[in-house]
């Protein structure tokens, strides 16, 4: 193999990679393109590539009352993630740095709840929410999303906590720090990237959650996915509007995810292996 063919092979591989990536992400690209079309250009055969762009769809979406859904999603996502961290950080600490007997049982329990299909609980949850007057209430979603994400979060954070050198914690104890000080001033700053990664994953799963949102909320507490359900019957008539709505609905978590993709990789892999 000469250097020349080697270089050629490498460029070909790079070209292939780019091609695969673009093909793979094409539905998203097409969504973005379509969202700037007039409805007449959106659903055509053959598809229209040259068109006069417009922001009409975005204003229509906003007029159809998109913002309250967005606000609900943001509220639910932020608060449920905060709740997960509030409950999860001490739990992860207890499972990693101060383990006692039965620790692995507790860990196994947390993991096993993740195996519980959410459909198995939806009926009582619906009935309980109804009896408590919590149907179509953001707080119900906050609690449920926290419950949904907590096991994975505890498991991930535990792996990050395990990375903290025990000698450092001992040094802090010798330096005179009590447990809360050790936790907040020594351990947390060290595991901050891991906690950020965990929070990011909770944010993604909360923002995109569909099942609870559709079944337990409606106009009052509906989140962004519920808004999209309104398009289920549009049957090819409002593709541009649908694309604009899909783009707006996904944009926040897309941007967060893009910015923090390194955290995401780290978070997933740490939870994985350590």
Partner 1 sequence: MAQVAYAGASRVYPGAHSVRAVDGLDLCIGDGEFLVLVGPSGSGKSTALRMAAGLEDVDEGSISIGDRDVTHLPPKDRDIAMVFQSYALYPHMSVRENMAFSLKLRGMSKSEVNAKVEEAAELLDLTKYLDRKPKALSGGQRQRVAMGRAIVREPSVFLMDEPLSNLDAKLRVETRANIAALQRRLGTTTIYVTHDQVEAMTMGDRVAVLRDGVLQQCASPRELYDTPRNVFVAGFIGSPAMNLLTLPVDGDGVKLGELKVQLPVRVEPGEVTVGIRPETLSLVGAAEDGFELQVELVEELGADAYVHGTLAGHADKIVVRADGRTPPRLGEAVRVAVRDTGEVHVFDPESGLRIGAE
Partner 2 sequence: MTALIEAPQSSEPPATRTRTQARSAAWKRRAPLLPALLFTIAVTQVPFLVTVFYSFQSWNMVRPGSQHFVGFDNYVDVFTDSVFLQALGNTVTITVVCVLVAMLLGLGLALLLDRKFLGRGIVRTLLITPFLILPAAGALLWKTTMFDPSYGLLNWAFGIEVEWLSDYPLAAVMTQIVWQWTPFMMLLILAGLQAQSREVLEAAQVDGAGRWRTFVSITLPQLSRYLQLAVLLGAIYIVNSFDAIYLMTQGGPGTASTNLPYYIYQRAFEGFDVGQSSAMGVVVVAMTLIVATFALRLMFRAFDVSRGVK
Residue 167 touches which of partner 2, partner 1, none (Cβ within 5-8 Å per kind): partner 1
Q: Is 200 in the site for partner 1 (CB under 8 A)?
A: no
Q: Given candidates 138, 204, 206, 217, which one binds partner 2 under the rule CB under 8 A?
A: 204
Q: Is 170 in the site for partner 1 (CB under 8 A)?
A: yes
Binding piece for partner 2, criterion CB under 8 A, among 54-62, 168-176, 185-193, 247-255 = 247-255
Q: Which 75-94 positions form the footprint of partner 2 (CB under 8 A)?
A: 87-88, 90-91, 93-94
Task: Compare residues 64 and 185 and give the one whose CB is closer to partner 1.
Answer: 185
Give the pair of three-digit tokens for residue 249. Answer: 């609905």
Residue 173 touches which of partner 1, partner 2, none (Cβ within 5-8 Å per kind): partner 1
Task: Compare residues 133 and 176 and give the one whose CB is closer to partner 1.
Answer: 176
Nearest Cα residue to 38 out of 246, 256, 243, 254: 243
Element (H, E) at 223: none
Q: Which 11-70 positions form the footprint of partner 2 (CB under 8 A)?
A: 13-14, 16-18, 20-22, 24-25, 27-28, 30-31, 34, 43-47
Q: Is 163 in the site for partner 1 (CB under 8 A)?
A: no
For the chain, what is the total number of helices (H) and then of strands (E)? 15, 0
Q: Given candidates 150, 199, 202, 221, which one binds partner 2 under the rule CB under 8 A?
A: 150
DSSP state for residue 46 in the 8-state scheme: S
C-alpha distances (whole Å) from 234 to each of 68, 228, 230 are 21, 11, 8
Q: Is 183 in the site for partner 1 (CB under 8 A)?
A: no
Residue 174 touches which of partner 1, partner 2, none (Cβ within 5-8 Å per kind): partner 1
Q: Count residues near partner 2 (CB under 8 A).
A: 99
Q: Which 161-190 positions form the footprint of partner 2 (CB under 8 A)?
A: none
φ, ψ for residue 260, nearest 5 deg: -105, 30
Q: Is 87 in the site for partner 1 (CB under 8 A)?
A: no
The nearest distance, CB 177 to partner 1, in angstroms, is 6
Nearest Cα residue to 245 out of 225, 218, 217, 219: 225
DSSP 158-184: HHHHHTS-HHHHHHHHHTT--HHHIII
Tell me which residues touch partner 1 (CB under 8 A): 165, 167-168, 170-178, 181, 185-186, 189-190, 192
């Amino acid at each position: 193999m000469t250097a020349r063919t080697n270089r050629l092979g490498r460029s070909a591989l790079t070209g292939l990679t780019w091609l695969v990536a673009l093909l793979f992400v094409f539905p998203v690209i097409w969504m973005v393109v379509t969202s700037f079309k007039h409805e007449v250009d959106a659903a055509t055969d053959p598809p229209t590539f040259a068109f006069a762009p417009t922001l009409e769809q975005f204003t229509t979406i906003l007029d159809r009352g998109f913002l309250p859904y967005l606000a609900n999603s943001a509220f639910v996502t932020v608060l449920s993630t905060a709740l997960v961290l509030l409950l999860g950080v001490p739990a992860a600490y207890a499972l990693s740095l101060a383990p006692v007997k039965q620790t692995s049982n507790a860990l196994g329990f947390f993991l096993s709840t993740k195996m519980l299909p959410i459909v198995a609980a939806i009926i009582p949850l619906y009935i309980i929410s109804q009896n408590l007057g919590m149907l179509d209430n953001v707080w119900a979603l906050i609690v449920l999303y926290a419950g949904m994400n907590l096991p994975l979060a505890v498991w991930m954070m535990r792996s990050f906590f395990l990375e903290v050198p025990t000698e450092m914690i001992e040094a802090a104890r010798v330096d005179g720090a009590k447990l809360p000080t050790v936790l907040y001033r020594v351990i947390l700053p060290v595991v901050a990237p891991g906690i950020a990664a965990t929070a990011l994953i909770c944010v993604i799963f909360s923002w995109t959650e569909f099942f609870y949102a559709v079944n337990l909320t409606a106009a009052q507490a509906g989140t962004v996915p519920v808004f999209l359900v309104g398009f289920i019957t549009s049957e090819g008539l409002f593709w541009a509007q649908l694309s604009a709505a899909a783009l707006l609905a996904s944009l926040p978590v897309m941007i967060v995810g893009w910015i923090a993709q390194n955290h995401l990789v780290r978070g997933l892999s740490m939870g994985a292996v350590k």
